[in-house]
Amino acid sequence: MTRCVALIPAYNEVQTIRAIVAATLPHVDAVIVIDDGSTDGTAEALEGSGARVIRHAENRGKGPCLVEGLDLAVAEGAGAVITLDGDDQHDPADIPAFRARAAEAPGALVLGDRSADMANVPKGRGRSIRLSNFFIGWGCARRITDAQCGMRLYPAAMWRALRIPRSYCRGFVFETALLLHAADIGTRFVTVPVRARYGGHLRRASHFRPVADFVAITLAITRFIVSRGFRPRGLLIALGLLR
């Protein structure tokens, strides 16, 4: 079976992180936590947890943490890397379903999909997801049902083949850029249904900055679409007029 490593970027998540690591370990071969400049004792809380902790003194953002963790896991022999957040938004119990889907679709990027549970997504976040699905689907030239779910399984072969511009590897732009560039090299996308875990599951506000991050993501998608000749076929697919 493919060696699978779980990658968890964490920032000030001492209330949740140890329980998430404990729930993740039974489902993977190793867990890497990137402590991105936490000031609440996140790294200390993981002592003896079984996770490998990489600590940064200053916050660098989610994108650089994901790049670092993916590079490390793949360089050390992981055949797949599954990402989940350290704030309880993603359920480690879903990991076996991701691994099973990856086994059914070798080489595919496995995406968590909350579309069947949108009634439990806050209205503002739901609008953002639907808008992202349309524009990212246009850029990818395929239907996207949940462009923003951070629980994903990345095949190592795809990661080695990707060439994402460094300017796209910052903050929350990276996860969008990865979808666009993965589609560009012909990567198949498959999905696993997951629950929308908001409300009591989240003990603090999202790190996502509604204005700044939305603008950065929008600019990245726009530049990508323009650089590919506006992708008219992708637009028709995103509109549901082509398959």
List, for residues 90-99, the tens digit of each pLDDT value. 999 999 999 9
**Long-range contacts, 129-133 (Cβ 8 Å, 24+):** 132/176, 132/217
Using CA atoms, how far apart are residues 6 and 77, in angstroms rounded to an integer?
13
Would you place residue 201 in the very low, low, confident or very high pLDDT band (cuts 50, 70, 90)? very low
**Regarding predicted confidence, which is higher, 123 or 17?**
17
CB 77: neighbour CB atoms within 10 A? 11
Element (H, E) at 154: strand 152-155
Using CA atoms, how far apart are residues 11 and 112, in angstroms rounded to an integer?
21
pLDDT tens-digit readout, 22-60: 999 999 999 999 999 999 999 999 999 999 999 999 999
Residue 208 confidence (pLDDT): 54
CA angle at residue 241 from 224 to 138, to 5 degrees? 10
Domain range summary for the chain, segments of one domain joined by +: 4-238
Using CA atoms, how far apart are residues 217 and 200, in angstroms rounded to an integer?
28
Residue 90 confidence (pLDDT): 95
Question: Does 87 score more than 80 pLDDT?
Answer: yes
Enter the pTM of the model. Answer: 0.93
CATH (residue range 4-238) = 3.90.550.10
